[in-house]
Amino acid sequence: MSTTAVRFTLTTLSTLTVALGVYVLPTTHPHAEAQALPACEYEDGNTDGMPCNWTDPGTGTVYRVSSENYR
């Protein structure tokens, strides 16, 4: 195999590795840990001071809230 062919093969493999990494890594759900927390009583948290999830009623986006205002 010529040097050019080896160089081309290595370049192709490294490009594929990077491309696959870009598509494989983001498959972890960004809110995976958020599902384990209870729902918030109020938008700024729970009165017990424990972290919780606040779901924005307008967009449905889930936010992790620290409830630090109630500590």
What are the tokens at 35? 């599902």
What's residue 35's pLDDT?
61
**What is the residue extent of each domain of the chain?**
1-29, 31-71
Confidence label for 3 from pLDDT (cuts 50, 70 and 90): low
Per-residue pLDDT reduced to its tens digit, 27-63: 555 555 546 899 999 999 999 999 999 999 999 999 9
CA distance 54 to 65: 7
What's residue 36's pLDDT?
84
- DSSP string over 4-62: HHHHHHHHHHHHHHHHHHHHHGGGS-TTTGGGGSPBPSBTTB-TT---EEEE-TTT--E
What's residue 1's pLDDT?
57
What's residue 65's pLDDT?
95
